[in-house]
Amino acid sequence: MMAKLLLVMIALSSCYCSAQVVQPPSPPKSATPPAAAPSTAAQEYLDAHNQARVEVGVAPLKWSQQLAKTASLQVRYQRDRQNCTFANLTKSIYGGNQLWAGGMAVTPRAAVETWVAEKKFYTYADNSCAPDHRCGVYTQVVWKKSVELGCAQASCSKEEASLTICFYNPPGNEAFPLENANLTTRLVCKFIRSFKSAEIAWQFFSWVTYQPGITHDIYTISRMITKLARHGCVHLVDLLLFKIQREGMKLSFSTIRLVIDFYGFQGLNDVN
Ligand SMILES: *[C@@H]1O[C@H](CO)[C@@H](O)[C@H](O)[C@H]1NC(C)=O
Ligand SMILES: *[C@@H]1O[C@H](CO)[C@@H](O)[C@H](O)[C@H]1NC(C)=O
Ligand SMILES: *[C@@H]1O[C@H](CO)[C@@H](O)[C@H](O)[C@H]1NC(C)=O
């Protein structure tokens, strides 16, 4: 009697369990697709990124739950503690793109497309960006070395806005997409010369300063001074001359002449 009762209960319970498990994978064919499945947004972020990447021949990104979780924590922190403002990602170990949108939530695709829209202001040849634009969000989207992506969005009701953050791993938004393994000072000089804009050259020069395995020498500094002097960047020339003096470096004759010419010109301007 007891044994029979026990048997029935097990059967029931296992029947109940299998009903729960089996039913979802075989829905009627006419069922509406799951609208709010968590992976839908992820797929949309991913697709929008990979579409931009394929256009420039860069391998697709993979979705990372860990990055998505980090992004989710970050947007919620910004919403709850920072009035929905942009996160300070200076110290983040991941690359990050952010989008703040007033008045509404934005779809994942729209968020990514906002970043990709900066593409038209970016010039690949000299890695420059039109004034008042932030091409960095675009270059991060298509950054070759990044392989993983994770994104999240928070809706901030008080501010009537939304904040979207995507994280990328490995990070890839140093100002310059150089393979820096064998960056020589000779190569640095070549690059400085090749940039049309003194500002871009200066950014590059500063970026090199923080690269391991390379130190500016008299050649790179002279090259940079020449560039800055020709573009009238007095303040930065001063800064570099100070560095040369401090480190007891010697300038080439032609650089000295250029600096004298440059200061002479500035001096005349000051007098007039
Ligand atoms: C957020 O906004 C409130 C009210 O405007 C202000 O008191 C608070 O200092 C802000 N918090 C931060 C972190 O900016
Ligand atoms: C971001 O954080 C860094 C380092 O923690 C700090 O130096 C910088 O001033 C911060 N930037 C802003 C805009 O708060
Ligand atoms: C960089 O230099 C090392 C050795 O000096 C060499 O093995 C490596 O192939 C070089 N890398 C590139 C990208 O040229």
| Cα torsion 259, 260, 262, 267: sign | positive
- Range with the poorest average pLDDT among 34-38, 90-94, 141-145: 34-38
- Packed helices 185-194 and 198-209: angle between N→C axes, nearest 10 degrees: 160
For residue range 192-221, list pLDDT tens digits in order. 887 778 887 887 787 777 776 777 888 888
Distance in Å, CA 130 to ligand 1 centroid:
33
Residue 4 beta carbon below 6 angstroms from any ligand 2 atom: no
Closest-lying ligand to the alpha carbon of 88? 2
Q: Are strands 128-129 and 148-156 parallel, antiparallel or unpaired?
A: unpaired
Coil vs helix vs strand at 99: strand
Coil vs helix vs strand at 239: helix
CA distance 138 to 121: 10
Task: Quote the pTM value.
Answer: 0.55
Structure confidence at residue 266 as a pLDDT band (50, 70, 90): low
Residue 86 beta carbon below 6 angstroms from any ligand 2 atom: no
CA distance 240 to 71: 40
HSE of 163, CA atoms in CB hemisphere, 13 A:
23
